[in-house]
Amino acid sequence: MSFEPRIIGFLCNWCSYTGADLAGTARLKYPPNVLGIRVMCSGRVDPGFILEAFRAGADGVLVCGCHPGDCHYVEGNYKCLRRIPLTKTLLQGFGVDSRRLRLEWVSASEGALFKDVITSFTEQIRELGPLKLKEWNFDPAMPDVVYAGTKLEAAHA
Amino acid sequence: MITVTIDGKEAQVKEETTILNAARELGIKIPTLCYNELLEPYAVCRVCTVEVVRGKRTRLVTACNYPLRESVTVHTNSDRVKTLRRMNLELLMAQAPDAEIIREMAAELGVTLVRFSAKDPTNKCILCGLCVQVCSEVVGMGAIGMRERGSKREIITYPDLCILCGACAKFCPTGHIKMTDIGGRILHSELTLGPNAAISLPFRQAIPNVPRIHQDYCIHMKTGECMLCAKVCTKNAIDFDQKDEFEEIDVGAVIVATGFQDFDPTPMKQYGYGKFPNVLTAGEFEQMNNAASPTGGKIVLENGKEPRSIAIFHCIGSRDDNYHKYCSRVCCMYALKFSHLVKEKTNAEVYELYIDMRAFGKGYEEFYHRLLEEGVNVIRGKGSEVVPVTRKRAGEGELLVHCEDTLIGKFREIPVDMVVLCTALEARADAPDLARKLNISVGADGWFIEAHPKLAPVSTTTDGIFLAGACQGAKDIPDSVAQGGAAAAQVLRLVSQGELFLDAAYAVIREEFCSGCKMCNGLCPYSAISFDEVKKISVVSTAQCKACGTCVAACPSGAIVARHFTDEQIYAQIEGVLA
């Protein structure tokens, strides 16, 4: 059986998610490998989400936001723009190829671009092969680090 | 008050009134040439000479600058005056033989023979000096002057001082001075309006319907002089001290209805727009058809004649891979309307060159069939080229239209007199700037994007901002009106509620986790986060928060929760989709 990558896509509500919608209403065909998660803004994408996605078994993570200057929240995508290279460095530290994380700007009118981005990124991840992160022996304490927020909240609940 | 008798009529006039004004009050016409009521009389042309009888003395004076100080009798048409006027006209004819007004005046007085030789048969200048006077007294620039004396006298100009206001041309009595637009685009001569007046109504139905002064053209704004409009305004309504003002208005909702702009067909060289004066855009043709247009609604060629044949080109710049891919939607129907107008107003043949006839609305298809019955030639095939006719035949047009008639499968060449280009509707060039200001989106075609093409066609992605009309996409008047009504209803819904319903999604800071690092304060683009100096923690104003979540992602203590997009929810989604 050929390798079907699983990719998590963080799509901002105003541009990329709408762009994905448009690709759908325009009946554009693209690989079904990207599993979209809606966030209000690409600025909402916590590097923790990306790490968690890889930990949970994703082979790639795609972050899509509005084009620079077009952010619905004025400048959220700039925050994202600064976080992604940082996260890439972090991923390399974990032994994850930084090409598995990609940031793209897709506006609400760019259904066709969304299709192209999904297609090319899926191809790239397919070439890179599956991410073997899950086969590593995780320290049982590891999820706690990632889940810091949850644990804290549980402690206070 | 003094009593004067002019040509037998008696009048009571104020002292110092000139004979000319007194005669005008009595309805007696005294010919003038260099007189202008806005300027001090200069009395150089001597055309207004009249005879004044005071007691036993009779004098010949110029009416324009002779002030009445005592009761006198004036003859404006006595034999002596007539003889003198004729002689004067003969001299003027010799000086400026080409001036039409002088030729007319001469003909009126019966001057046929000119006994003096003309220095220059093309001259129109009578050396009245009005231009000199206007330039120095009204404009205040002094860019025109006189040189030499007697027969050598001539007008000289100082181009460095000229501000191109056109006042000299306006005041020149014989039309010797002209403003010419050098290098301007060839347009239908009737539609060429020349330099704009500095004071005008913005457009016919303007509200408020009052003239405004255009700063770029106003002489007063340039030189501080002139103020002729204030002089003639009886209501003292002109205020030169008005300045541009910026007003800030608090509003709860905005309707964007900025419309479209016309596609400029100049880059499509094959159609010869700008090169052939009888190739017009639809907008220009529509303007010509307007009853208030310079042609009075008549369809005419550049030479003023009625066209014998007109070709109407559909889809110029629209449905075209090189320009706009979309269909402009309105063109087919207005092109058919043009055909109807041409058939109604002229006897011209009409050729409609279309790709597809999109008669989509109520009654539109019926209208199309009616036109077919009226004898409009509809050719399925886009016009490919407009060239001048090389071999002219009597009764045929001078522009040759090339097209392919796809229904008969043949190339056709049609000689026509006029070509109308149905140019595309396109998004305004400044739409992206406005979109950025309003935080709404612009699509690939430049039109503003609605929140949802079916479910929210008048809303935008920004709350309280709505779209109406062609700024959202090419559409006709009924559709624009409908969308405008819908946008207004959306706004009224917000207004009548009286209170604002907030989205349930917003950020909350959990006090117990906030370390007061203030990291989030600077991140918020809406300044919704402030620092509580008493509690030493940051606080989110929920009404201002738009739930972008930037602060949530940045909070080092994980103290901020994005409601409906919490970390736990997103982690669960990640787990869920990857499970």
Size of chain A in residues: 157
Give the tens place of pLDDT for each residue, A15-31: 899 999 989 999 999 99
How far is it, in rounded angstroms, from Cα B404 to Cα B177? 50
CB-based contact A14 B550, cutoff 8 Å = no
Inter-axis angle of helices B331-345 and B282-289, to 10 degrees?
40
How far is it, in rounded angstroms, from Cα B307 to Cα B299? 7
3-state SS assignment for residue A60: strand
User: What is the arithmetic mean of pLDDT over B100-119?
Assistant: 87
Query: Does residue B387 surpass a pLDDT of 90?
Result: yes
B310 pairs with which residues across the strands? B350, B418
Identify the H or E element spanning B561. strand B560-562
Query: Does residue A140 surpass a pLDDT of 90?
Result: no
pLDDT, chain B, mean: 88
Fold of domain B262-426? FAD/NAD(P)-binding domain (3.50.50)
Q: What is the pLDDT of residue A100?
A: 94
Amino acid in the structure at residue B356: D
Query: Does residue B195 surpass a pLDDT of 60?
Result: no
Query: What's the CATH number for B507-578?
Result: 3.30.70.20
Query: Does residue B522 surpass a pLDDT of 50?
Result: yes
Query: What's the gap in Å between the CA of B223 and the closest CA on chain A?
Result: 43
Inter-axis angle of helices B100-109 and B79-95, to 10 degrees?
150
Query: Does residue A126 surpass a pLDDT of 60?
Result: yes
User: What is the arithmetic mean of pLDDT over A38-54?
Assistant: 93
Q: What is the pLDDT of residue B385?
A: 94
Chain A, nearest residue to B554 by Cα: A46
Q: Find, among A13, A12, A20, the residue nearest to A111 by Cα.
A: A20
Q: What is the pLDDT of residue B181?
A: 56
Residue A139 pLDDT class (50, 70, 90 cuts): low
Q: Does A27 touch chain B (CB under 8 A)?
A: no
Give the tens place of pLDDT for each residue, B529-579: 999 999 999 999 888 888 899 999 999 999 999 999 999 999 999 999 988
Give the tens place of pLDDT for each residue, B293-324: 778 889 999 888 899 999 999 999 999 999 99
3-state helix, strand, coil in chain B (%, to 5): 30, 20, 50
How far is it, in rounded angstroms, from Cα B76 to Cα B33? 16
User: What is the arithmetic mean of pLDDT over B36-51?
Assistant: 88
How far is residue A22 from each of residues A17, B220, B460, B469, measured CA to CA in Å? 9, 56, 15, 22
Task: Quickly count: other Cβ atoms within 10 Å of residue B402's Cβ.
Answer: 16
> Dihedrals φ, ψ of B27, to 5°?
80, 20
Q: What is the pLDDT of residue A72?
A: 82
Q: What is the ipTM of this complex?
A: 0.85
User: Could you say which of B441, B552, B568 has the minimum Cβ distance to residue A44?
Assistant: B552
Cis peptide before B97 (omega within 30 of 0): no
Fold of domain B2-109? Ubiquitin-like (UB roll) (3.10.20)
Query: Does residue B170 surpass a pLDDT of 90?
Result: no
Q: Is the pTM of this model over 0.90?
A: no
Q: Does A78 touch chain B (CB under 8 A)?
A: no
Query: Does residue B86 surpass a pLDDT of 70?
Result: yes
In chain B, which residues have their Cβ closer than 8 Å to the Cβ of A149? 558, 567-568
Query: Does residue B254 surpass a pLDDT of 90?
Result: yes
CB-based contact A46 B565, cutoff 8 Å = no
Q: What is the pLDDT of residue A36?
A: 93
Residue B210 pLDDT class (50, 70, 90 cuts): confident
In chain B, which residues have their Cβ closer than 8 Å to the Cβ of A110? 444
Q: What is the pLDDT of residue B171?
A: 86
Residue B497 pLDDT class (50, 70, 90 cuts): confident
Q: What is the pLDDT of residue B141?
A: 87
Residue B70 pLDDT class (50, 70, 90 cuts): confident
Residue A149 pLDDT class (50, 70, 90 cuts): very low
> Dihedrals φ, ψ of B563, to 5°?
-60, 135
How far is it, in rounded angstroms, from Cα B400 to Cα B270? 12
In chain B, which residues have their Cβ closer than 8 Å to the Cβ of A74? 439, 525-526
Q: Does A150 touch chain B (CB under 8 A)?
A: yes
How far is it, in rounded angstroms, from Cα B60 to Cα B371? 70
A12 pairs with which residues across the strands? A39
Query: Does residue B202 surpass a pLDDT of 70?
Result: yes
User: Could you say which of B442, B461, B574 has the minimum Cβ distance to residue A37?
Assistant: B574
Query: Does residue B189 surpass a pLDDT of 70?
Result: no
User: What is the arithmetic mean of pLDDT over B186-200?
Assistant: 50
Query: Does residue B186 surpass a pLDDT of 80?
Result: no
Kindly state the DSSP code that residue B452 receives in the 8-state scheme: B
Q: What is the pLDDT of residue A138?
A: 52
pLDDT, chain A, mean: 84
Question: In whole angstroms, how large is the CA radius of gyration of chain B?
Answer: 36
What does the block give as tokens for A2?
A: 């050929």
In chain B, which residues have their Cβ closer than 8 Å to the Cβ of A130? none
Sign of the C-alpha dihedral, residues B19, B21, B27, B30? positive
Ordered domains of chain A (ranges, CATH): 7-156 (3.40.50)
Half-sphere exposure of B578 (CA within 13 A, CB side): 24
* Contact assessment for residue B168 and residue B145, using Cβ atoms and an 8 Å cutoff: no
Task: Quickly count: other Cβ atoms within 10 Å of residue A27's Cβ.
Answer: 7
In chain A, which residues have their Cβ closer than 8 Å to the Cβ of B513? 152
How far is it, in rounded angstroms, from Cα B535 to Cα B370? 79
Q: Which residue has the tokens 């929920």?
A: B542
Q: Which residue has the tokens 């986790």?
A: B513
Query: Does residue A9 surpass a pLDDT of 80?
Result: yes
How far is it, in rounded angstroms, from Cα B27 to Cα B46? 20
Q: Which residues, 6+ apart, have CB-to-CB distance to B104 below 8 Å?
A: none
Query: Does residue B379 surpass a pLDDT of 60?
Result: yes
In chain B, which residues have their Cβ closer than 8 Å to the Cβ of A18? 461
Question: In whole angstroms, how large is the CA radius of gyration of chain A?
Answer: 16
- Spell out the domain ranges in chain B: 2-109, 129-238, 262-426, 428-497, 507-578
User: Could you say which of A43, A52, A70 has the minimum Cβ distance to residue B550?
Assistant: A43
* Contact assessment for residue B369 and residue B336, using Cβ atoms and an 8 Å cutoff: no
Query: Does residue A142 surpass a pLDDT of 70?
Result: no
CB-based contact A73 B552, cutoff 8 Å = no
Residue B347 pLDDT class (50, 70, 90 cuts): very high
* Contact assessment for residue B362 and residue B392, using Cβ atoms and an 8 Å cutoff: no
User: What is the arithmetic mean of pLDDT over B429-434?
Assistant: 93
Amino acid in the structure at residue B349: E
Query: Does residue B2 surpass a pLDDT of 90?
Result: no
In chain A, which residues have their Cβ closer than 8 Å to the Cβ of B554? 79
Q: What is the pLDDT of residue B194?
A: 41
Q: Is the pLDDT higher at A9 or at A72? A: A9
Chain B, nearest residue to A151 by Cα: B568
Q: Find, among A151, A125, A98, the residue nearest to A3 by Cα.
A: A125
User: What is the arithmetic mean of pLDDT over B456-461?
Assistant: 89
Q: Which residues, 6+ apart, have CB-to-CB distance to B434 below 8 Å?
A: B256, B258, B428
In chain B, the percentage of residues whose pLDDT exceeds 90 is 46
Q: What is the pLDDT of residue B175?
A: 85
Identify the H or E element spanning B373. helix B364-374
Q: Does A97 touch chain B (CB under 8 A)?
A: no
Residue A146 pLDDT class (50, 70, 90 cuts): very low
* Contact assessment for residue B19 and residue B50, using Cβ atoms and an 8 Å cutoff: yes
H-helix segments, B397-499 = 431-438, 477-497
Query: Does residue B182 surpass a pLDDT of 60?
Result: no
Q: What is the pLDDT of residue B498?
A: 81
Query: Does residue B446 surpass a pLDDT of 60?
Result: yes
Strands B2-6 and A101-105: unpaired
